[in-house]
Amino acid sequence: FFFALHPFPGPMEFVQKGEDIYACLGVAKDASPEEIKKAYYKSAMKYHPDRCEGDKEEATKQFQKLGFINMILSDPEKRKVYDATGDLGVASEDLDSDALRMWKDYFDNMFTPVTEKEVESFAAKYKGSADEKTDLVEAYRTGDGSMDVIMSNVPLSECSEEDRYREIVEGLFKSGELAPTPKWTKTNSKAAIARRKKAERAERKEFEEDTQAERTKKSKRDDAAMDVEALRAAIVERRSTGFDDLFAKLERKYAAAETEATAKKPKAGPKAGKAKKKAK
C-alpha cells in the first residue's frame, strides 16, 4: 500500500486505473460543487477512522480514497483535466520535489479529528432530510430489504433510529416506491431487533474501553513526562545547592587559611634590623 521510498501513499494508489471517481463518490458526472461537497462529507463521516467502530484499516483506506477523489473533483482545473482525459495525476516516483511536498502536506493534513460539534451540525441537517431518505431507499434496495444493511449503510444510523426508519420505509410501501421483502420481515423481528441492540451495546462498550485505555496511556505518558521534568529540576536544584555549598566551604577554608598565614607572618621591627647588621 505504501511506496518503499515514501512514508505516505502515492496518489495513484487510491483509485484503480479507469475507475469512475464520480461513481466512487456516488454523484453524477454533472454534479455541482455543492453536491460533491455534500457527498464527500457524508461518506467521510461514515469512513473517518476516528468514528469507525469496524475494520479501521479498511475504513482508513476508504477515507484516504475519498479524500483523494474530493481533492480532484473540488478543484475546477483538476476536475476539468479528469473529465477530458481521465487523468488523475502521476505516481509518487514521478513527482518533482515541490509537487511531492504538496502531496505529502495534503496527506499529513487529511486526518483532522471529527469534532462532536461537526457531527451534531451534520446530523441536524441530515436526519429527516431528502438525502437521508435517498440513502435509506438505496440501502433498502442494495440489501433487498435487510435492516442490517440499512443500519450499515445509512450515515449516523443507531438502534434508536430504527423506529423512524421503519416508519419511512412503510410509508414508501404505501406509496408503491418500495415493496416488502422476506428479508425486511426477518430482520425486523423482535429477535433481530434485540440482536442489533445487543451488538450495538457491545460495540459501544468496546469503543468506550478503548477510548479509556487510550486516555489512561496518554495520562501515564504525561505523568511520566512530568516525573522526568520534576526529577530533572530536582537534580539541577540539588547540583546548584551542592555547588553553592561547595563554594561556600572553599571560600571559608581559604579565607581562614589566608587569615592564619597573615597571623603567622613575622612583623618587621628594630630587632630584625639589628640582626641583619650583625650578620654582615
How confident is the model over 17-70, as pLDDT tens digits? 778 889 988 889 999 888 888 888 788 777 766 666 567 777 777 887 888 888
CA distances from 206 to 48, 193, 199 (A): 18, 20, 11
As a residue count, the chain comes to: 280
CA distances from 215 to 49, 136, 143, 206, 252 (A): 17, 36, 38, 14, 54
The whole-model pTM stands at 0.47
pLDDT at 150: 93
Q: Cβ of 64: how many Cβ atoms within 10 Å? A: 20
Segment among 21-25, 125-129, 209-213 with least mean pLDDT: 209-213
Distance from C-alpha of 1 to C-alpha of 10, rounded to nearest angstrom: 9
Q: Check pLDDT > 60 for residue 272.
A: no
For 107-137, b/e burial (b = at least 16 CB within 10 A) is beebeeeeeeeeeeebeeebeeeebbbebbb
pLDDT at 263: 58
Contacts (Cβ under 8 Å, ≥6 apart) of 180? 145, 173
Q: Which amino acid is at 29?
A: K
Specify the residue for cell string 475507475. 19
For the stretch 75-125, pLDDT in tens is 888 888 888 888 775 444 444 455 445 555 555 555 555 566 777 888 888
Q: How large is the average pLDDT for residues 197-223?
A: 76
Q: Are 140 and 187 in contact (CB under 8 A)?
A: no
